Amino acid sequence: MFVQDAFTRLYRQLWIVSFPIILDTVSFMAGWYMIGFTGESRLSWRVILEMGMPSVSHLFNTPLLANQIEFLNNAGKPSFAWIAVALIMLLSAYAQGGFISALWNMTERKTATFKSFIRDGRKHWIRFIGLYVMIMLAKIAVTSLLVLLFGIAGTLVSLLFFIVMRVLFIYLEFTMVIDRMSIGAALRQSRRYMKLSGPQTTALILAMFLISGAISVIIHWIWQPVAIVTGIVVYAYLMTAIQLAFIMTLRQAREEDSPGTFV
């Protein structure tokens, strides 16, 4: 794995971590303003299914940050909450392309700049909005069907299904940016990259699940504003390094790739 090298390279361009920290801080403040600090301490955790720019909201079973659709399910939210959530999600889609491109530049030992971050974000934001909508509709459709077929057990089956899909297409977001592909083409190519880098990628996935799971349990157990703020910084740093290790593994897979049809 490239984990140690990823941390070393990230340390040299640590400013990249500021983007997920800023977005999460804005989302947390917006959420607190609209609904207050809700929830309580409990033993809980959440499996992350998201790749690319990290957000501590991926770890919460209580939608506290105004950067995801689930936030709109909170009781007592103001009427303008959907506007705030939509704006933050649009900003996140824009930042996703710039963030992934910046990590890719680091694998080439290039210096990522704010200018290139903005430029690359502008290139890819519409496709990421399309991807977010596609995933949201797929979650609704698949979960509804499985619950209809299996009752409450369908919820667990749905979770397992999306975990498997996430593992199989772990490089989807990266492929969309690095190879500049449409969602359909990136689905096929990302699956190929997973096949080419199976053992290394599997080890990284396990490390990602362990790290994110541990942080999720700790934050849910403490569940105080200070834990959220600390989690925003710690999670952004650790998961950015993990994402960089994934992209370094992807780069190796691309170099080993050869023309041919994936089966």
Q: Residue 91: enclosing H or E segment and its boundaries?
A: helix 81-107
Res 258: pLDDT = 60
Concatenated DSSP letters for 136-203? HHHHHHHHHHHHHHHTTHHHHHHHHHHHHHHHHTTTHHHHHHHS---HHHHHHHHHHHHHHTHHHHHH
The one-letter code for the residue type at 73 is N
pLDDT of residue 145: 94
Whole-number pLDDT of residue 183: 94
Spatial CA neighbour of 212 closest among 237, 189, 193: 237
Three-class SS state of 72 = helix
Q: Is 252 exposed, middle or buried (0-12, 13-18, 19+ CB in 10 A)?
A: middle
Site of tokens 């804005």: 26
Question: 132, exposed or middle or buried, with CB in 10 Å at 0-12, 13-18, 19+?
Answer: middle
- pLDDT value for 1: 63
Tell me how far apart the alpha carbons of residues 218 and 5 are, in angstroms, rounded to a whole number.
27
Q: How many helices (H) and strands (E) are present in the chain, helices listed first?
A: 9, 0
Please state the pTM of the whole predicted model.
Answer: 0.91
What radius of gyration, in Å, describes the C-alpha atoms of the chain? 18
CA–CA gap between residue 100 and residue 73 (Å, rounded): 30
**pLDDT confidence of residue 98:** 95
pLDDT at 261: 42
10-residue mean pLDDT series, the chain (263 residues): 89 94 97 92 87 93 92 86 94 95 90 88 94 92 93 92 93 95 94 93 94 95 96 97 96 78 40
Question: What is the predicted pLDDT for the residue at 65?
Answer: 95
Tokens, residue 79: 């009427």
